[in-house]
Amino acid sequence: MKCDESEVMLHALIDGELDAGHARDVEAHVAACPGCGEKLAAFHTMHEVMSATPLKEFAPAHLRSRIEASLTPPASRVVSMRSFFKPTRRSFFGGFAVGSALSAAVAASFVLTVIRGDREQAVADEVVSAHIRSLQASHLMDVATSDQHTVKPWFNGRVDVAPPVIDLTAESFTLLGGRLDYIDSEPVAAVVYQRRKHLINLFVAQHLGARHARPVAESIQGYNVRHWSQDGLDFWAVSDLAGDELAEFVQKIARAVPRSSSAS
Q: How far is the CB of 27 from other proteins (least distance, A)?
A: 17
Give me the torsion for CA of 101, 107, 111, 113, rounded to 10°: 90
Q: Out of 50, 79, 170, 213, point to the residue binding other proteins (CB under 8 A).
A: 50
The dihedral of CA 82, 83, 85, 91: what is its sign? positive
**93 binds other proteins per the rule CB under 8 A:** yes
Can you tell me which of 20, 21, 57, 156 binds other proteins, judged by CB under 8 A? 57
- For residues 223 and 172, the answer to whether their CB atoms sit within 8 Å is no
**CA-CA distance, 6 to 36, in Å (whole number)?**
7
Residues binding other proteins: number (CB under 8 A): 54
Quick check: 51 binds other proteins (CB under 8 A)?
yes
Our finding on whether 45 is near other proteins (CB under 8 A) is yes
Residue 80 has, within 13 A of its CA and on its CB side, a CA count of 16
The verdict on 137 binding other proteins (CB under 8 A) reads: no
The CA-based diameter of the chain, rounded to the nearest angstrom, is: 87
Q: Judged by CB under 8 A, does residue 11 bind other proteins?
A: yes
Q: Which residue stretch of 100-108, 180-188, 211-219, 254-262 sits at the interface with other proteins (rule: CB under 8 A)?
A: 100-108
242 binds other proteins (CB under 8 A): no
- Select the residue interacting with other proteins from 23, 70, 145, 174 (CB under 8 A): 70
Number of Cβ within 10 Å of residue 122's Cβ equals 15
Sign of the CA dihedral with 30 first, then 35, 39, and 41 last: positive
- Residue 32 in the binding site for other proteins (CB under 8 A): no
Taking the least distance from each CB to other proteins, the nearer of 153 and 222 is 222
Among 22, 24, 26, 21, smallest CA distance to 40 is for 26
109 or 150: CB nearest other proteins? 109
Is 5 a binder of other proteins (CB under 8 A)?
A: no
What is the C-alpha separation between 99 and 116, in angstroms, rounded? 25
Residues 47 and 13 sit within 8 Å (Cβ to Cβ): no
β-pair type (143-144, 186-195): unpaired
Q: Verify binding: residue 74, other proteins, rule CB under 8 A.
A: no
Residues that bind other proteins (CB under 8 A): 4, 7-9, 11-12, 15, 17, 35, 38-39, 41-43, 45-47, 49-51, 53-60, 63-64, 66-68, 70-73, 88-90, 92-93, 96-97, 100, 103-104, 106-108, 110-111, 114, 222
